[in-house]
Structure 1
Amino acid sequence: MTPPLIQLDGVSRTYTTPAGTITAVDNVSLSLGESETICIVGESGCGKTTTGRMLAGLLQPSSGRLLFEGADVWEKKGKDLARFRRAVQLVHQDPYASLNPTRTVAQALAPPLAKHKKAHGRAARAAMISLLERVGLTPPADFLLKYPHQLSGGQRQRVSIARALTVDPRVIVADEAVSMVDVSIRISLLDLLHNLSTEFHVTTVLITHDLAVARYFARTGRIAVMYLGKVVELAATEPLVSDPAHPYSTALIAAIPEADPTITRSKKRVSLKGAEVPSLLNLPPGCVFHPRCPLSEPGLCDVVVPTLGDLPGGRSVACHVALRERQPAAELLGVR
């Protein structure tokens, strides 16, 4: 079996606040291979951004390990650490804040090209033009001397992606990369990010709160669903969307509106026990979803913390009932 390119091994991240300790991410394990596309999806506060920042090496786990090519990143030093920093790039959520307003597009792209590829002068200009073409900014020469305020949100995000590509990364983590751009251009940006895996052989991780975005982006990859700091389901996109295994995933997918309003009105919904998400300062015992879960069983779900287990079809789910019955929650709830 081919070893994973990058891996989170039982990572957790806690924060100490005046009100108490918050566990933003709790014992998350995730392995990514070469040229893979994966989406981490969940509500605000679920820990997906913290997970992405740990994956990019920008945030050290409180416990657990970040492995790159089998080696612990936080034990690397010198050239080995610099090699990891070059290999894993982050595309930020806000295209308006991620670019220096005093620098032109050319000035934003030139430093990494000079440092990592020793490209200067005409060679650097040719490389910049090639990158801008590949991210859909044409004619590229027209963009080189523009400042960020002269670009639209979508164009700024494309420049951010081009900047990430200047160092030939092997992994790109895109944190809510399409949430602040106009809806009309989201699809083209998602296609651009998705195609990085085939055109540039880059493993691409998209973090989003929108399951419809996740379904489109990771159509040939996988989706990891997070809830209150835990991965509750991990599966290939089509099985997860058509037959979700966890009650939380089932509720999310049932709430997605369809293009045809008659289909939306006829969809079966999941009735949750409660609408309120528990506080990270006072998490419930056992399964963190049990206070809202329609499949919750007293004495089991409110006592024992579920761990990810395998169901048929190569999917993983953290649900006592689904694992015991060997059936996805969508089937148990009758909403398949």
Structure 2
Amino acid sequence: MRPDVDPVAEADGRLRHYSDFYGLTEPVARERVVLVLGNCQAESLRIMLQGDDATTVRVPPVHELTARDMPFLERWLEAADLLVSQPVRDDYHGLPVGLRQTSARLGGRRGGLTIAVPVVRFAGLYPWHAIVRPPRDASIVPPVVEYHDLSTLAAAAGETLPPLVPATVRAVAEASIDELRRRESIWGTVVVSDLFERPGFELMRTMNHPGNAVWTALAERVRRRAGMRPTVHDPGRPLLDAVHAPRDAAVIDAWSLADEPTDHWLVGGAAVAVDEVRRAQLAWYTDNPDIVAAGIARHGSTLRLLRHSAVVRSR
């Protein structure tokens, strides 16, 4: 029996978007039932994992799940042969959706297998950019684009950072890969850090929005670990494609790329000038000084590397 669905709510866009998850529709039954849990990256991986040997279910991102969603999640965990999940802490947002908690509730015809995958972040192509989770509300994001620029953040704190140089780009990249490897090791995830040893913009559209090349490799590795055919489903379209970050000349030089520098973001296909983003975010920081402080504290190690550009340039 599926959990009851309020008939009035069936017209809701969220229910339609996740219709299989909520039991409004039933996916085609195939050899395995596969659930993918995590942030916005999880859906891209799910799409790549689809195949004629796997029933995959589109699940809301974990940060959007509510108590009302739990019966539906339970239903699919009981049916799942394979759970693919990012490292989610126990009782995240007060709900039992942590990696260990969901893994323990797996059913499935094979008893259930769990494979952990990392949250993919790589700063070596966008060294200026950062994510800040303010203590008063972790959901607060800056205006125009949902990324902080460390040069803008520093300016709000009264500091001017020097221009990037390739050596600093490589240092930021090394630190970013080290952090990714650390997280892979702690959680025993499928490894993706090796993909960034030779960076290129096809790998990442922003610091946390991987391109199809990453999803193809990760999906193949997940399938191999699960004992499935390594064939990957190509959706025929770019995934996580809504936002593209600017491309800095020092980054292109650091990795000897053929790309041209850009001075704008692409948001929903529209160009948004870097200066426009900077003005809007500086004004926003004036009204939110606690976020400036939180960002400076959170990203102190990267800021130290960026400050070092002046030393490298002067040699």
TM-score of the superposition, structure 1-length normalised?
0.28
- Greater share of residues in strand: 1
TM-score of the superposed pair, with normalisation by structure 2: 0.29
Task: Write 1 or 2 for the structure with the bigger share of helix.
Answer: 2
